[in-house]
Amino acid sequence: MSEDILLLDTDVETALRAAVRSLLNERCDPAAVLAAYAGDRSLTRALWKPITTELGLAGLLIPENRGGAGGSARDAAVVLEELGRYAAPVPFLTSSVIAATVLLAGDSELVAQLATGECTAALLAPFSAATAEQIPTLTKDADGRLSGRVTSVAGALEADVLLAAVQTPAGTEVHALATSAVTADPVVSLDMTRPLADITVDSAPGRVVVEAGAGLPALRAGLAIGAALLASEQAGIAEWCLDTTVAYLKVRRQFGRVVGGFQALKHRLADLYVELESARATARYAAGAIAAGDPDAAIATAVAAAYCGDIAVHAAEEAVQLHGGIGMTWEYPVHLYLKRAKADQIGLGSPAYHRSVLAGLIDLPLGRK
């Protein structure tokens, strides 16, 4: 573990956090988020535009010399923490983190378009994919047209461009396809604030954006940084759940007493606070390790991905239980966080998968069955 990686926000990160939180507090009302479950995607468009134009965050991870903001993984982690706090239905993770990282391995003009928010992109991979080998590859015919099918793709419904892995004799290339050239079938998923879609590509034209030699490493880099920074979103989810539950228990009365005064509930909240602080630390260390190019970045990513997914679910479950009857209602927003946490738990690799990766990285023998 490097002692040079800060776990607290810098002044710049504090200002970024305040700007993102102010925007979301003003425009990301839980009632509007809930509308996504009725098929209303208007909030996504209403939020994404100011995020890209007013705050300029679409190209946060893209260098300045390629039209982006020149930010680091730490900056993106701050944004994702706040997006997690509000269960914001925007494609920042899928477009500005994963797709942007993949595209940076090539010299396509799409990089600059992504940086300005002119277009959004999504990687044609199941949301559960943890390795490049788990990404289905499309076939290319003699005319260069692509065909294939990829299921449970996150971010595809909001994307203008889809990035597809294509196997060639020279290696794995990454091709860009217009979403208008494919068939997208929405999937009824647990978390409709990050909807999934099954994508069918039938002899669609595409263009190479990452050459064969760099294709596989680009896909691996995109999934790796996605898994690391998803942990920050999970920490944000857990933080909202704890803060909201504490605030509720301070005013809820039962048997003539404030519910938060019961010792058993205090113990549960204290345990959850310790878990949240640990989740914040692991998520921020992973982002810091990536930003610093630390050789332990892979280990830090595996730790954060293995730990934060379970903590977000636990925090959301505690929030539902400790809110009592109101926590079970459709109108109260706790269920939005439980669904996001459960969906995130299997996103880009489950905690069990990342624990197995961590065991290999630190030469820890796996237990015998």
DSSP track, 111-160: HHHHHHTS--EEESSBTT--SGGGSPEEEE-TTSEEEEEEEEEESGGG-S
pTM for the whole structure:
0.95
- Averaged pLDDT, 245-272: 84
- Which pLDDT score is estimated for 366? 64
Can you give the pLDDT at residue 276?
97
Q: Identify whether the C-beta of residue 323 lies closer than 8 Å to the C-beta of residue 332.
A: yes
Tens-digit pLDDT profile for residues 1-50: 666 788 888 999 999 999 999 999 999 999 899 999 988 999 999 999 99
pLDDT exceeds cutoff 60 at 343:
yes
* Residue 200 φ/ψ, nearest 5 degrees: -110, 125
List pLDDT tens digits, range 142-169.
888 999 999 999 999 999 999 999 999 9
Q: How confident is the model at residue 212 (pLDDT cuts 50, 70, 90)?
A: very high
Give the pLDDT score at 251: 81
Mean pLDDT score of the chain: 93
Q: Closest Cα to residue 282, out of 355, 341, 215? A: 355
| pLDDT at 265 (0 to 100) | 87
**What is the reported pLDDT for 369?**
46
Rounded Cα–Cα distance for residues 131 and 135 (Å): 7
* Domains of the chain, first to last: 11-119 (1.10.540.10), 123-213 (2.40.110.10), 216-361 (1.20.140.10)
Q: Left (φ > 0), alpha (ψ -120 to 50) or beta: where does 147 sit?
A: beta
Token representation of residue 334:
């706790």
CA angle, 118 as apex, 154 and 21 as ends, to 5°?
Answer: 65
Is residue 235 scored above 90 in pLDDT? Answer: yes
Q: Using CA atoms, how far apart are residues 51 and 45, in angstroms rounded to an integer?
A: 10
CB atoms within 10 A of CB 144: 12
